[in-house]
């Protein structure tokens, strides 16, 4: 009887604690009198609201926190102030490194998630490591994605102490979208600490219900902000870019062509209202300071995806998201001007942007492969995204894009909806229509012979470009069930043969695909592993005429364990068609061979200590050799290692190896190495050397067509960066590229450049 009473008492106290954690948190309005230096020593902090981060929400399920973390918070009308006192019984074990912003997610860190509209649709994230390095992001419940590409201007500082570390944060309300009111407002918030040791613990002031698939629905009310104002919120950012470069084609000449550039520009950001933001850019420089992660394209018939990295397009990019990737702004390569309006008004969310482009590039999709077309003519580009939140559970949307140049246009428009049936079940639907006009003769650029005189020399892209005026539709339906122990999903999508989304990244067309899958998870809080998961799915793809393209079954197991380790082991078996035998026809049946592929794969990652991170990705099986339309034995190995040598220096290494044998002989081997040496002087400045090397060797005797036997490429970049904040920065650097192949013997440089960029943010 006594044991039963104790158990009942414990359950009651836990329920009471959970209710208290979810109760509205009233934060005081106090005069700003804080120096953001990482020392919680001003007396005003004693008047602030206080919360304890008492729960471990991952990998444990709302277990008591092993360390104490105290949050203090208040607002001054124009700024939100937070201070975290993160205790640690072993301060020497704190994991913290100097790095560029948004590279702190493996460190000890504290932060806040803010839903300023209290509607569980979108949340801002602000995190800081013990050295004051910032990480900010947007969490979008509509798409289920988080993006740290959003960068805001706010203050932070941190310091390691004798019993842990302390962090101070000052978040200007001008960087947030919210509704101004002269009455007390209710936002939603969660306060979080990441505590990475043998396991990476996620600590919170709130318990989490793993049977509720809606993450932002579980934030707790944060009340205050009756005097919150954004002010004028006008920011002017003049920029200056100068460069000197030279290039040549060593196969034709060793003489250099020189080019110099001195380009002023201006970026403008204006908070039209506290809920609506207008951005404009004039003569922007969208050069890539951050080099893309290198990828191998050999034996891949579809266009590779590279993420957007340019601030103008990244700002509030989540306002444009939908189930289809209809707005992929890297298609706008070199604009002279652009403008963007994003924001909310009540239940309405709007995103609009427009920009020109001195050239016009777009994907020509297919069902076996895709290509990129380029028109050497200026285009006008525009996109609109609208969403209406009809209720807490139902959102309706509209999206439209338009691109136009001489003899070319593409327009896409359509609607979508998301309905949350309950805490576990979600339905998403989207329907879009496209209308496209291609220039006459564009298809001739994609024939295997220059004159396109023989239909046998056509490619799939050439066939899909022969009609110059086309219209078609696309739609998809997604059903998801997600709860604590198991999940299931079904998806059905259709993209017509003439559907085009030229401002987006939709590299496939002319297909109908159905996917069904699910999985089950087991949890453990008292052993060396924390989660074991079994999952699988089945999918089948036809073209719009009902001809089979692919049928696939996949199963895998995953394990989360000590040393922040994760292992995934899986198997795929697939029937897939190869290349068309008669390239003058798009037909599948009777025009392709159906191959039986299989693949074993292993992915493993771990962080054995604070200084090391490593992962391995291994794949082996039989795969189609697309260049010769046959099966081959394929092997892929990728290794990644990050090594921190002290608090300031980091080495990042990524190596990919691929090989294929076919017809009992080697076909190709490919090596790609991406190496980056980074010295971070402090939270604002770094020096980085990047080396990207590739080496591809082909067995010419095992190819049907002529191919390059051997090619190597080496790209280098040395960059110094100083960032006061995301908009005030200085870059100076050097870059070059060289190669060797069957024609150019010996390593020869074909590009060299030196460059400098300066920008300064005036906040008025």
The torsion of the CA quartet 454, 455, 459, 462, rounded to 10 degrees, works out to 100
Cβ-in-10-Å burial (0-12, 13-18, 19+) of 439 comes to middle
The predicted pLDDT at position 290 comes to 63
- Give CA–CA dist 508/549, Å, rounded: 12
The predicted pLDDT at position 8 comes to 42
Check whether 9 has a pLDDT greater than 50: no
- Give CA–CA dist 385/220, Å, rounded: 29
- Residue 125: φ, ψ to 5°: -125, 135
The predicted pLDDT at position 292 comes to 72
Domain ranges of the chain: 17-224, 262-358, 612-764
Six-digit token string for 220: 């707790």
Beta strand 371-375 with 220-224 is unpaired
Annotate 242-289 with DSSP letters as a single string: EEEEEE--TTT-S--EEEEEEEEEEEEEEEEETTEEEEEEES-----S
- Residue 431: φ, ψ to 5°: -135, 130
The predicted pLDDT at position 141 comes to 87
Beta strand 25-26 with 220-224 is parallel
Mean pLDDT of 475-480: 98
What's the pLDDT tens digit per position in 484-537?
999 999 999 999 999 999 999 999 999 999 999 999 999 999 899 999 999 999
The predicted pLDDT at position 179 comes to 82
Residue 135 near residue 124 (C-beta atoms within 8 A) = no
Look at residue 82 and give its three-state secondary structure: strand
What does each C-alpha distance from 269 to 137, 372, 513, 520 come to in angstroms?
Answer: 19, 33, 42, 47
What's the pLDDT tens digit per position in 285-341?
765 456 677 788 899 999 988 888 787 888 888 889 898 999 999 999 889 999 999
- Residue 474: φ, ψ to 5°: -150, 145
Mean pLDDT of 621-644: 97
Cβ-in-10-Å burial (0-12, 13-18, 19+) of 557 comes to middle
Question: Using 50, 70 and 90 to split pLDDT, how confident is the model at 11?
Answer: very low
- Give CA–CA dist 599/552, Å, rounded: 11
Look at residue 654 and give its three-state secondary structure: strand
The predicted pLDDT at position 1 comes to 42
What is the number of other CB atoms lying within 10 angstroms of the CB of residue 702? 20
Residue 627 near residue 707 (C-beta atoms within 8 A) = yes
How many Cα atoms within 13 Å fall on the side-chain side of residue 171?
27
Q: In angstroms, what is the C-alpha Rg of the chain?
A: 28
What is the number of other CB atoms lying within 10 angstroms of the CB of residue 485? 12
Which of 723, 719, 717, 727 minimizes the C-alpha distance to 751?
A: 717
Question: Using 50, 70 and 90 to split pLDDT, how confident is the model at 16?
Answer: very low
Check whether 471 has a pLDDT greater than 50: yes
The predicted pLDDT at position 451 comes to 60
Residues in the chain: 764
The predicted pLDDT at position 291 comes to 67
Check whether 184 has a pLDDT greater than 60: yes
The predicted pLDDT at position 226 comes to 87
Least confident of 16-20, 196-200, 201-205: 16-20
Question: Using 50, 70 and 90 to split pLDDT, how confident is the model at 219?
Answer: very high
Six-digit token string for 440: 């006459």
| CATH architecture of the domain covering 17-224 | Sandwich (2.60)
The predicted pLDDT at position 430 comes to 98
Residue with tokens 């908009």: 727
Mean pLDDT of 654-673: 97
The predicted pLDDT at position 150 comes to 83
- Give CA–CA dist 198/175, Å, rounded: 36
Mean pLDDT (the chain, rounded): 92
Cα-based angle 279, 283, 288 (whole degrees, multiple of 5): 90
Residue 598 near residue 620 (C-beta atoms within 8 A) = no
Which of 401, 402, 428 minimizes the C-alpha distance to 416?
A: 428
The predicted pLDDT at position 5 comes to 41
Which of 290, 228, 246, 99 minimizes the C-alpha distance to 681?
A: 99
Six-digit token string for 749: 């440089």
Check whether 661 has a pLDDT greater than 70: yes
How many Cα atoms within 13 Å fall on the side-chain side of residue 101?
25
Mean pLDDT of 374-393: 95
Six-digit token string for 253: 């000449």
The predicted pLDDT at position 6 comes to 39
Six-digit token string for 135: 């990480």
Top pLDDT among 749 and 174 is at: 749
Look at residue 442 and give its three-state secondary structure: helix
Q: Select, from the ranges 292-301, 317-326, 446-455, 677-686, the one with the highest average predicted confidence (pLDDT).
A: 677-686
What's the pLDDT tens digit per position in 92-113?
999 999 999 999 999 999 999 9
- Give CA–CA dist 415/429, Å, rounded: 8
């Amino acid at each position: 009887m006594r044991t039963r009473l104790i158990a009942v008492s414990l359950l009651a106290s836990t329920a009471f604690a959970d209710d208290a954690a979810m109760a509205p948190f009233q934060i005081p309005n106090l005069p700003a009198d804080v120096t953001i230096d990482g020392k919680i020593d001003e007396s005003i902090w004693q008047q602030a609201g206080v919360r304890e981060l008492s729960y471990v929400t991952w990998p444990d399920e709302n277990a008591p926190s092993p360390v104490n973390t105290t949050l203090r918070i208040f607002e001054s009308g124009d700024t939100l102030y937070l201070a975290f006192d993160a205790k640690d019984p072993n301060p020497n074990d704190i994991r913290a490194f100097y790095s560029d912003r948004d590279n702190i997610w493996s460190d000890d860190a504290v932060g806040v998630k803010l839903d300023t509209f209290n509607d569980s649709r979108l949340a801002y994230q602000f995190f800081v490591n013990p050295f004051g390095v910032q990480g900010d992001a947007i969490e979008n419940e509509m798409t289920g994605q988080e993006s740290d590409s959003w960068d805001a201007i706010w203050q932070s500082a941190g310091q390691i102490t004798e019993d842990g570390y302390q962090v101070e944060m000052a978040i200007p309300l001008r960087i947030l979208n919210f509704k101004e009111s002269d009455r007390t407002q209710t936002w939603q918030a969660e306060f979080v600490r990441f505590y990475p040791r043998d396991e990476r613990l996620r600590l919170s002031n709130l318990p989490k219900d793993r049977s509720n698939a809606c993450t932002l629905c579980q934030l707790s009310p944060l009340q205050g902000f009756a005097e919150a104002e954004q002010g004028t919120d006008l920011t002017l950012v003049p920029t200056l870019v100068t460069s000197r470069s030279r290039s040549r084609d060593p196969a034709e000449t060793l003489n250099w062509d020189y080019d110099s550039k001195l380009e002023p520009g201006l970026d403008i950001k204006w908070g039209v209202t506290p809920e609506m933001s207008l951005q404009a850019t004039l003569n922007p420089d969208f050069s890539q300071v951050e080099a893309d992660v290198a990828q191998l394209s050999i034996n891949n018939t579809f266009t590779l995806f590279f993420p957007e990295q340019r601030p103008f397009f990244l700002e509030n990019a989540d306002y444009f998201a939908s189930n289809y990737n209809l707005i992929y702004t890297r298609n706008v390569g070199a604009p002279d001007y652009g403008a963007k309006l994003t924001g909310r008004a009540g239940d309405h969310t709007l995103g609009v942007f427009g920009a020109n482009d001195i050239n016009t590039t777009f994907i020509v999709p297919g069902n076996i492969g895709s290509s990129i077309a380029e028109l050497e003519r200026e285009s006008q580009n525009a996109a609109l995204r609208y969403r209406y939140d009809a209720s807490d559970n139902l959102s309706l949307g509209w999206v439209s894009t338009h691109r136009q140049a001489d003899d070319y246009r593409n327009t896409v428009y359509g609607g979508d909806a998301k309905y949350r049936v309950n805490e576990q079940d979600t339905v998403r639907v989207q329907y879009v229509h496209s209308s496209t006009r291609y220039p006459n003769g564009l298809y001739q650029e994609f024939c295997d012979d220059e004159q396109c005189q023989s239909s046998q020399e056509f490619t799939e892209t050439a066939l899909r470009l022969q009609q110059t005026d086309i219209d078609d539709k696309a739609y998809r339906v997604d059903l998801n069930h997600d709860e604590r122990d198991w999940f299931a999903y079904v998806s059905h999508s259709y993209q017509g043969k003439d559907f085009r989304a030229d401002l987006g990244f939709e590299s496939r067309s002319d297909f109908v695909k159905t996917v069904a899958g699910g999985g089950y998870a087991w949890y453990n809080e008292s052993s060396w592993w924390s989660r074991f998961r079994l999952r699988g799915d089945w999918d089948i793809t036809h073209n719009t005429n009902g001809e089979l393209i692919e049928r696939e079954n996949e199963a895998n197991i995953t394990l989360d364990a000590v040393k922040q380790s994760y292992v995934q082991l899986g198997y795929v078996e697939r029937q897939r068609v190869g290349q068309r035998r008669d390239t003058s026809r798009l037909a599948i049946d009777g025009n392709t061979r159906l191959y039986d592929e299989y693949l074993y794969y292993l992915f493993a990652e771990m962080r054995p200590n604070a200084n090391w991170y490593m992962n391995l990705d291994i794949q082996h099986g039989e795969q189609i050799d697309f260049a010769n339309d046959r099966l081959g034995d394929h092997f892929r190995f990728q290794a990644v290692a990050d090594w921190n040598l002290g608090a300031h220096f980091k080495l990042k290494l990524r190596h990919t190896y691929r090989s294929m044998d076919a017809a009992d002989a080697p076909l190709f081997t490919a090596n790609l190495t991406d190496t980056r040496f980074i010295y971070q002087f402090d939270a604002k400045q770094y020096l980085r050397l990047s080396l990207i090397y590739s080496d591809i060797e082909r067995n010419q005797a095992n190819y049907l067509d002529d191919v390059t036997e051997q090619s190597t490429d080496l790209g280098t970049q040395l960059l110094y960066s100083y960032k006061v904040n995301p908009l005030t920065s200085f870059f100076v650097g050097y870059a070059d590229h060289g190669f060797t192949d069957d024609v150019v013997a010996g390593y020869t440089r074909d590009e060299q450049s030196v460059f400098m960029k300066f920008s300064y943010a005036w906040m008025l």
